[in-house]
Amino acid sequence: MKLDQIKKIAIAGAGTMGLGIAQLAAMAGYETILFDINAPALEKAKNSIIKNLDGGIKRGKLSEDQKNACLELIQFSTNESDLIADVIVEAIIEKAQIKIDLFNRVATQNNPDTILATNTSSIPITSIAAALPNPERVVGFHFFNPAHIMKLVEIISGAATSKEVAQTMFDLALKMGKKPVYAKDSPGFIVNRVARHFYVESLKVLEENVASHETIDALIQNNGFRMGPFKLMDLIGVDTNYSVTSSMFESFQFDSKFRPSKIQLQKVQAGHNGRKSGKGFYEYED
């Protein structure tokens, strides 16, 4: 499938990443379906998209007409059978089998050439594709948070991914106003491979009581970073960040330098997942 054949895009998962991708798809002029099994999550996603668009209007980036046109193109659904499109993007929990199960279900209700794109941060594309029919149409389509603002998108080809599918998704990212790059199917791809120790080493410093998380963030920011590691983990989602670290720890044969943090695990167990839950390493008000 080529870019000019894409008319409809469906996104599974109405979390922070899913809603951002849905907004981008609609802004690019595509009929868009945003699916989630949780109705309140969909309502929250809709409100977040409206807030994002209103922010764009305030900054002079788009008009009221563009906002309305975007919203008219998005269908919000709790019915998985609505996931019928030319491109289906999953942005659900970072668990390989759950992603595979979803793709297997939607594969039965879509054409064999429907592109199955995963927003996974670290799970090998090859392993996901191997469990699906027509693995050549499975590709990594990895956005960064917040998806509607961050420019980079990783296009990851598994062992079976066709060159045409990878090129189509590269072109789609460009149409969405992004800066796509091709990445090989290796643990963490490019960005998470490079950035993992930004989080892991900061958590080790915290675990060893060398400094507080506030101090570590302040030191990092005073050295030119826009956000410290703990503020960034809260923005991404402490649970999401922990899942990626755990996945990479396994992918690198449990190399100690990728060991997940006990402090981060405790946050996840307590439901302190960052901005989206109102509390992470910091506390947030609505």
Active site residues: 121, 142, 154, 192
Of 177, 171, 217, 176, the closest CA to residue 198 belongs to: 217
Task: Give the tokens for residue 27.
Answer: 């802004």
Count CB-CB contacts under 10 A for residue 5. 11
Nearest 5 degrees, angle CA 141-CA 147-CA 153?
35
Which phi and psi (to 5°) does residue 109 adopt?
A: -110, 10
